[in-house]
Amino acid sequence: MAVATAVVCSGCKEAPKPAAAAETSAAAETAKPAETAKPAEAAKPAQAAASGTNALAKADPGKVTLLPPLNLKPKLFCDLTGECAIPDELALDGKGHILVSMPNCLEYEKFTPKIAMLDDAGKVSDWFVNLPLHPKTGKVHPMGMEFGPDGNLYICDNQYFDDKDHQSRILRVIVKDGKPVSCEIAVEGTKLSNGIRFKGDKLYMTDTFFDLPDKRDQSGIWCFPLTEIGAGKPTLKVLPLAKDPHIITTFTGKPQPAKTDGGFDQAAGADGLAFDSAGNLYCGLFGDGQFFKITFNADGTVKSNIKIIDDASFQCCDGIWCDQKTDKIYLANSARNSVHIYDARNHTLQMIWENADSDGKDGLLDQPCTACLLGNKLIVVNFDMPFPGLINSKHDDPITVSYFELP
Ligand SMILES: [Ca+2]
Ligand SMILES: [Ca+2]
Ligand SMILES: [Ca+2]
């Protein structure tokens, strides 16, 4: 996603640490002391992180270990030039197809916002084009999306770039016999709907800006059970200004200096979301790359929300994707034209690749906004919607999806 903020100054030294956990929901404050299951392991120092899934039980794994860069050069997966101006997120349909959302935040009049399908050779076709236009803005901008356990596709509609006044939505594409048949509005009234993930029948969605006058750098995560917003339910209208009980946790970005170059002077917040195999949730902030691990109580309420990465090599987190077989989380760094792996079992961070400003031809990264793994191919979408502070200097053809052949 491309939230216009010039926050990302790759040379910046760390700002004073915000008390991340203290900013989170009240539930986080009541976290019980360590998990009862592994007391001995929890007492070990961070660098002795246990391998395997047991390591996931640690809510606070300590300082992340940086591994040397892989320097794995990306290749061109497909050329979307002529299909859209801006692609954003990916979803897998479970049959080897990749869906890509096309919000077209630029050149909106030229391209229809839609969900396209890529086959495993990168061939593009339309999957769903009749997304409902917003009654006030007359536009629709599909961003993060994922299939729910009901088989329908849930999509963030980000209206924030057109109207900041709680106009964003969650859309639901009804799927019958594997085919999309209609689109409904599941939720309305969010600020900047960005990323979606499901755990069981609960949909979790990031909202990147709250725009609260007294908490300018705050963002957060919504949670909606399908019993409330699933097919057949009326559209849920949420309460404004983060007063709604469906907000389950919040984050505070690092304060940003006043801008004179057109960028936002508040931190762009919660963006990518992913669950590991143990059901812990991870979320990164776009504006400064702070990366958080959220654990849950047995009843689904938030138990803890702890910052686990705050590193100079990673100062912008866009879309993320977890391979639950390995608990490796793939992170797109929109600012630095780089993609990283966070290994949640071993608590390591490793850059796969970064490149200088490029138009994206031949598969070089051109503002990567998300990644997902299909076989051993790591598919990476390039957002290519520049604003101050990014390496990407201009919106240019080709519009591309890259991939890495992982070893
Ligand atoms: Ca995003
Ligand atoms: Ca380009
Ligand atoms: Ca570019």
- Average pLDDT per run of 10 along the chain, which is 407 residues long? 38 32 37 36 41 82 96 97 98 92 97 94 94 98 98 98 96 96 98 97 97 91 98 95 90 82 76 98 97 97 98 96 98 98 98 98 98 96 94 98 97
Distance separating alpha carbons of residues 76 and 92, to the nearest angstrom: 19
Residue 317 CA: which ligand is closest?
1
In 3-state terms, what secondary structure has residue 24?
A: coil
* Cβ contact 355:72 at 8 Å: no
Cα of 240 vs centre of ligand 2, distance in Å, is: 36
DSSP output for 204-215: EEEE----BTTB
Distance separating alpha carbons of residues 208 and 318, to the nearest angstrom: 11
What pLDDT was estimated at residue 216?
A: 87
Gap between the terminal Cα atoms of the chain: 28
69 CB burial (10 A radius; 0-12, 13-18, 19+): middle
Cα of 194 vs centre of ligand 1, distance in Å, is: 5
Within a domain: residue 150? yes
Distance separating alpha carbons of residues 269 and 289, to the nearest angstrom: 9
Within a domain: residue 396? yes
Amino acid identity at 214: D
Within a domain: residue 25? no
Query: 95 to each of 91, 99, 120, 329, how far by Cα in Å?
Result: 11, 11, 10, 22
Structural domains counted in the chain: 1
Residue-level length of the chain: 407
Cα of 185 vs centre of ligand 3, distance in Å, is: 33
Residue 337 CA: which ligand is closest?
3
Within a domain: residue 61? yes
Cα of 397 vs centre of ligand 2, distance in Å, is: 5
Within a domain: residue 258? no
* Cβ contact 282:292 at 8 Å: yes
Ion ligand 2 contact residues with beta carbon within 5 A: 359-360, 366, 384, 396
Domain of 224?
A: 39-251+268-405
Cα of 381 vs centre of ligand 2, distance in Å, is: 11
Within a domain: residue 82? yes
Cα of 393 vs centre of ligand 2, distance in Å, is: 10
28 contact partners, CB below 8 Å, separation of at least 6 = 21, 249, 302, 303, 304, 305
Cα of 330 vs centre of ligand 3, distance in Å, is: 22
Residue 195 CA: which ligand is closest?
1
Amino acid identity at 328: K
* Tokens describing residue 25: 């929901």
Within a domain: residue 1? no
Helix (H), strand (E) at residue 39: helix 39-43
pTM: 0.87
Cα of 10 vs centre of ligand 3, distance in Å, is: 18
Within a domain: residue 257? no
What pLDDT was estimated at residue 223?
A: 98
In 3-state terms, what secondary structure has residue 403?
A: strand
* CATH code, domain with 377: 2.120.10.30
Cα of 309 vs centre of ligand 1, distance in Å, is: 18
Strand partners, 224: 203
Q: Can you count the helices (H) and strands (E) in the chain?
A: 4, 26
What pLDDT was estimated at residue 168?
A: 98
Distance separating alpha carbons of residues 192 and 132, to the nearest angstrom: 17
Is the backbone of residue 242 left (phi > 0), alpha (psi -120 to 50) or beta? left
Distance separating alpha carbons of residues 332 and 92, to the nearest angstrom: 17
